[in-house]
Amino acid sequence: MAKKKAETSEAAAPKAPAPVVAPPPAAAPAAEAAVAAPEAHGFRRKMVGRVTSNKMNKTVVVEVVRSSLDPVYKKYVRSRARYKAHDESNQYKVGDRVEIQEHRPISRDKRWMVTRLVSRPVEE
């Protein structure tokens, strides 16, 4: 019985507050967060294709050509798809090889954005 009274007297005694430790400065994580902010949207598809039309304002039509193996004949078949991509500065010309990336819907047909110029054809 004496043990129980001793334990209860210790529990009843007020405890000293735990020392407060200041967190490390947040300058470094903030810089990393700023770099990682564009990646917050998750995985976005990227494709490389050729600009076939730039007659619209801030829009280019990019043709992406892929090769897939035919299941019956075991030969590679070329398939092409045309995408309308957003070109904010109207800098891409017909014949340029560009990389396009998936984007939120910009208009009825545009769901892609041009991210970079891969190569430009040689002009004489």
Per-residue pLDDT of 93-116, as tens digits, reads 999 999 999 999 999 999 999 999
CATH of domain 44-124: 2.40.50.140
Task: Name 76's Cβ contacts closer than 8 Å, sequence gap at least 6.
Answer: 67, 68, 69, 70
- The per-residue pLDDT of the chain, averaged, comes to 83
Q: Global pTM?
A: 0.65
Where are the chain's structural domains?
44-124
Task: Please report, to the nearest 10 degrees, the dihedral formed by the alpha carbons of residues 5, 6, 9, 13 taken in order.
Answer: -170
pLDDT score for 88: 93
